């Protein structure tokens, strides 16, 4: 084991998969030279050359279309979109093309595309560079949506995503890029579609994704002082959603809080809440509470009021405990 930053874990995954499979290539803006805006692809150009590391014009629709067309022919593109907010610029290619190609053509095509994009606030990057849009993509059949919270998961999930034969929207969190964590020296994969119990607890389940996993863990530590033992589940993959891990935990705890950074209204927390109450209403000792951002764009200057945090999660947990 060794300590690695989240961004380096991603870079490692790319390096390893490119070394393993000649069909894997990387495409995006500035992905050569300095390795993209956040240096996730640093070193790839030196290692694999211009053929497999493709710097493009600023044309996100062309980037995604390129990936789709190449993947349909059997290549395994990893496309980078510099900020998740820019996925809007190529939304047709992602949703009407990439997600539907296989179905629309009756299974004729297989599309092993990974689209990497960093989302999330926390860097004062303003309303057009800070959004968390996973709920949109989770609503689109044909896509898988992945959202790692730790370096370990980032590396293992990215490798699995590259090997997966389906289009994957791989949502990194830019405020986590510098965060550190242990990863094994030997190769490993983290399977898609499996949530991870990041902390075992018996009193309440907290389901979280991406950066909110860390806030949930902080909250859990705090709650523990008051004798409340929260089980923290890191979704890791949004679709396919790991219903089982969630159900199993809630069966034990009978209480659920869901936390994500995206706007609370119509976010993924709604689906998880609805799903759990649908299936196990009588099991619940309290309403499912959701923690998410308020219904406002991400302000440049007021992020500290905007971002949901450990305190909010702890407060929600206390409310369900006291219910």
Ligand X SMILES: Cc1ncc(C[n+]2csc(CCOP(=O)(O)OP(=O)(O)O)c2C)c(N)n1
The catalytic site residues sit at 129
User: Can you tell me the distance from the alpha carbon of 250 to that of 204, in angstroms, rounded to the nearest whole number?
Assistant: 7
Give the residue, chosen from 174, 306, 316, 320, that forms a contact with other proteins under the rule CB under 8 A: 306
Of 54-62, 178-186, 221-229, 260-268, the window that binds other proteins (rule: CB under 8 A) is 54-62
Give the residue, chosen from 77, 118, 142, 167, that forms a contact with a second copy under the rule CB under 8 A: 142
Query: Of 213 and 238, which has the nearer Cβ to other proteins?
Result: 238
302 contacts which partner out of a second copy, other proteins, ligand X, none, CB within 5 to 8 A by kind? other proteins
Residues with Cβ < 8 Å from 69, sequence gap 6 or more? none
Residue nearest to ligand X (CB): 86
Of 47-55, 82-90, 133-141, 193-201, the window that binds ligand X (rule: CB under 6 A) is 82-90
The residues with which 172 forms a beta bridge, in sequence order, are 118
Q: Does 89 bind ligand X (CB under 6 A)?
A: yes
Query: Of 31 and 183, which has the nearer Cβ to ligand X?
Result: 31
Of 12-20, 30-38, 178-186, 265-273, the window that binds a second copy (rule: CB under 8 A) is 265-273
* Shortest CB 272 distance to other proteins, Å: 21
Element (H or E) spanning 217, and its range? helix 211-225
Q: Does 277 bind a second copy (CB under 8 A)?
A: yes
268 contacts which partner out of ligand X, other proteins, a second copy, none, CB within 5 to 8 A by kind? a second copy
Query: Of 121 and 140, which has the nearer Cβ to a second copy?
Result: 140
Give the residue, chosen from 29, 134, 215, 231, that forms a contact with ligand X under the rule CB under 6 A: 29
Residues with Cβ < 8 Å from 118, sequence gap 6 or more? 38, 82, 83, 84, 171, 172, 173, 174, 177
Q: Does 62 bind other proteins (CB under 8 A)?
A: yes
Q: Where are the alpha helices (DSSP H) in 122-210?
A: 134-138, 151-163
DSSP E strand boundaries for the chain: 2-5, 24-28, 53-55, 76-80, 114-119, 144-146, 168-173, 180-183, 196-199, 204-208, 230-234, 237-239, 256-263, 289-293
Query: Of 87 and 317, which has the nearer Cβ to ligand X?
Result: 87
128 contacts 149 by C-beta, under 8 angstroms: no
Residue-wise DSSP of 89-144: GGHIIIIIIITTHHHHTTT------EEEEEE--SS---TTS----HHHHHTSTT-E
The Cβ of residue 16 has, within 10 Å, a number of other Cβ atoms equal to: 16
What does residue 293 show for φ and ψ, rounded to 5 degrees? -75, 155
Q: Does 47 bind a second copy (CB under 8 A)?
A: no
User: Can you tell me the distance from the alpha carbon of 98 to that of 167, in angstroms, rounded to the nearest whole number?
Assistant: 7
246 contacts 193 by C-beta, under 8 angstroms: no
Of 111-119, 134-142, 180-188, 223-231, the window that binds a second copy (rule: CB under 8 A) is 134-142
Residues binding ligand X (CB under 6 A): 29, 58, 60, 82, 86, 89
Residues binding other proteins (CB under 8 A): 25, 29-30, 32-34, 37, 51, 54-62, 64-75, 77, 85-86, 89, 92-93, 96-97, 101-108, 110-112, 123-129, 141-142, 144, 165-166, 294-297, 299-302, 305-306
């Amino acid at each position: 084991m060794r300590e690695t930053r989240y961004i380096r874990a991603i870079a490692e995954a790319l390096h390893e998969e490119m070394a393993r499979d000649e069909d894997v290539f990387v495409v995006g803006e500035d992905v050569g030279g300095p390795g993209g805006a956040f240096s996730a692809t640093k070193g790839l150009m030196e290692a694999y050359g211009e053929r497999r590391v493709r710097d493009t014009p600023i044309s996100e629709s062309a980037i995604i279309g390129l990936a789709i067309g190449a993947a349909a022919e059997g290549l395994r593109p990893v496309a980078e979109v510099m900020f998740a907010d820019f996925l809007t610029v190529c939304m047709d290619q992602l949703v009407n093309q990439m997600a539907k190609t296989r179905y629309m053509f009756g299974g004729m095509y297989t599309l092993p595309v990974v689209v990497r994009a960093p989302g999330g606030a926390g860097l004062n990057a303003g309303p057009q560079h800070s959004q968390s849009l996973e709920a949109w993509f989770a609503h689109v059949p044909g896509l898988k949506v992945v959202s790692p919270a730790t370096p370990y998961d980032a590396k293992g999930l990215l490798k699995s995503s590259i090997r997966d034969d389906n289009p994957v929207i791989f949502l990194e969190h830019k405020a986590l890029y510098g965060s550190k964590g242990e990863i094994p020296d030997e190769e490993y994969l983290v399977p898609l579609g499996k949530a991870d119990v990041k902390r075992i607890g018996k009193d309440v389940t907290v389901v979280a994704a991406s950066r909110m996993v860390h806030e949930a863990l902080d909250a859990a530590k705090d709650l523990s002082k008051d004798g409340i033992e929260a089980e923290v589940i890191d979704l890791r993959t949004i679709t396919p959603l790991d219903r089982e891990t969630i159900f199993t935990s809630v069966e034990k705890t009978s209480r659920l809080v869901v936390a994500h950074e995206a706007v609370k209204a119509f976010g993924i927390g709604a689906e998880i809440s609805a799903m759990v109450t649908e299936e196990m209403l009588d099991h619940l000792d309290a309403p499912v509470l959701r923690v998410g951002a308020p219904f406002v764009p991400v302000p440049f200057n007021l992020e500290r009021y905007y971002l949901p945090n450990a305190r909010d999660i702890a407060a929600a947990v206390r409310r369900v405990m006291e219910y």
